[in-house]
């Protein structure tokens, strides 16, 4: 008899082997779960590989309804772990060519999920990476990997770059708590990878304030040399190129000279600088570092498009970044060097830790050899 699948109304019938592979695998699992007269140990390998997230969660909920069985699930999916709320979590890591097995505290894993929610992130944002480089926000999250790859000619090699959802908290009294949460999210016995750094906008912070944030972050906080990322995008040719690529931006094309004139006007206006009492006449060429790049781009887009197009920080910053990567990558060199420095600093620290570990092993071996000789 050929197995067939049928929809709820009973109108459509087709052979099971013409359905998705996930249906067959789920039916096999559920057959054992539902028909076994004795308790079973049921091993499921990577359910997310044959089910989408919603179906995977539903499968887990069904399995939890039959607690007489023991379920062992191998997964790389935070969705599965979150849905299952397992009593035991065993993590397998690769270290120096060996598999290291660690048992995690399920309550701590749930606490980590809450920590992530508290800072506006999800386990899926960082799960499975070797480490995390936290950056100012979603714009930098999209742009920095491109800068690293195409300007610095370097791969992330297991690092993920993620935007900090609540950088405003670092300006208030909550900075210590915020850094504490991020550090607790990445302690050694954790499903989540460690933080290797925070790259933040300068935002006109006094040097003393930046030193405080470096201290509170265990020296992981780094600051852009310019006020914010958008300061690197104030290239007249790039702005004209991106604007002319936007449908309906203006009836006539935007010229590079027109953008240059508008930009020159704005660099003379105190309202675009922070702090406002800054003497802009004495800045000289340093104006590009001190001006509020995002506000300037907002007003340039609004004025040149005759208010037809509003500057979208995420969409248009990415477009400007891609234009610069292709036509003027030297404009992004300073950021490429900063990202590379943070990654290399982390790599050097890892090598030092491995070297220390190797030295310790060598010392133990030598002590054992001396003891054996004495005997």
CATH of domain 111-228+333-350: 3.40.50
pLDDT at 164: 79
Report pTM: 0.67
How many CB atoms sit inside 10 A of residue 325's CB? 18
In tens, the pLDDT along 201-244 reads 998 888 998 998 898 888 899 999 999 999 999 999 999 999 99
| Burial class for 178, CB neighbours closer than 10 Å (0-12, 13-18, 19+) | buried
- The dihedral through the CA atoms of 345, 349, 350, 352 has a sign that is positive
In tens, the pLDDT along 251-310 reads 999 999 999 999 999 999 989 987 656 677 788 889 999 999 999 999 999 999 999 999
Residues 6+ apart with CB under 8 A from 255: 240
Class of 4-86 in CATH: alpha beta
How many CB atoms sit inside 10 A of residue 21's CB? 11
């Amino acid at each position: 008899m050929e197995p067939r699948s049928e929809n709820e109304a009973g109108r459509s019938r087709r052979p099971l082997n013409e359905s998705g592979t996930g249906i067959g695998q789920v039916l096999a699992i559920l057959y054992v779960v539902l028909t076994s007269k004795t308790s079973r140990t049921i091993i499921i390998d990577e359910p997310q590989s044959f089910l989408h997230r919603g179906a995977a969660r539903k499968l887990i909920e069904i399995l939890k309804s039959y607690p007489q069985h023991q379920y062992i699930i191998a997964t790389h999916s935070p969705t599965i772990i979150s849905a299952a709320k397992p009593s035991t979590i065993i993590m397998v890591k690769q270290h120096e060519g060996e598999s290291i097995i660690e048992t995690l505290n399920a309550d701590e894993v749930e606490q980590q999920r809450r920590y992530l929610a508290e800072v506006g992130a999800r386990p899926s944002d960082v799960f499975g990476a070797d480490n995390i480089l936290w950056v100012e926000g979603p714009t930098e999250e999209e742009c920095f990997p491109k800068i690293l790859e195409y300007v610095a000619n370097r791969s992330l090699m297991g690092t993920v770059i993620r935007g900090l959802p609540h950088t405003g908290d670092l300006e208030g009294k909550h900075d210590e708590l915020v850094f504490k949460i991020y550090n607790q999210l990445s302690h050694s016995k954790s499903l989540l990878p460690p933080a290797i750094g925070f790259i933040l906008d300068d935002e006109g912070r006094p040097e003393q304030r930046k030193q405080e944030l470096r201290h509170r972050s265990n020296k992981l906080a780094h600051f852009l040399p310019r006020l914010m990322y958008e300061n690197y995008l104030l290239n007249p040719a790039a702005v004209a190129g991106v604007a002319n690529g936007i449908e309906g931006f203006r009836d006539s094309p935007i010229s590079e000279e027109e953008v240059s004139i508008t930009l020159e006007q704005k660099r003379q206006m105190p309202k675009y600088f922070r702090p406002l009492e800054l003497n802009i006449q004495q800045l000289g060429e340093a104006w590009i570092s001190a001006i509020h790049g995002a506000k300037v781009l907002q007003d340039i887009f609004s004025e040149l498009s005759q208010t037809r197009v509003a500057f979208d920080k995420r969409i248009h910053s990415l477009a400007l970044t891609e234009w610069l990567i292709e036509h003027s990558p030297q404009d992004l060199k300073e950021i490429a060097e900063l990202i590379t420095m943070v990654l290399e600093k982390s790599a050097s620290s890892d090598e030092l830790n491995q070297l220390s570990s190797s030295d310790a092993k060598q010392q133990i071996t030598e002590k054992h050899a001396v003891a054996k000789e004495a005997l």
